[in-house]
Amino acid sequence: MQADVFLAPQIFAAVTRYQTDMSNYPTLARLHGQYMTHPAFEAALPDRQPDAPSSG
């Protein structure tokens, strides 16, 4: 679980910010899918933080 705390944000950035094709990284893609269903990781997403800039 400790590695997840560091790995999840890196994968999230690769997928969302840099639009990395994760088909070359099936294990990381699977982990990302699992992270996105976990309530703690969902709550920690950057756009869900109180000081996140509005997208509008």
CATH of the domain at 32: 1.20.1050.10
What is the per-residue pLDDT for 56?
A: 55
Residue 55 lies in a domain: no
pLDDT, averaged across the chain? 88
CB-count exposure of residue 54 (10 Å: 0-12, 13-18, 19+): exposed
What is the per-residue pLDDT for 55?
A: 63
Residue 54 lies in a domain: no
Q: Note the Cα 13 to chain centre separation in Å.
A: 6
Domain that holds residue 28: 2-48
What CA–CA distances, in Å, run from 42 to 23, 24, 30, 45?
22, 24, 16, 6
Give pTM, 2 decimals. Answer: 0.75
Residue 16 lies in a domain: yes
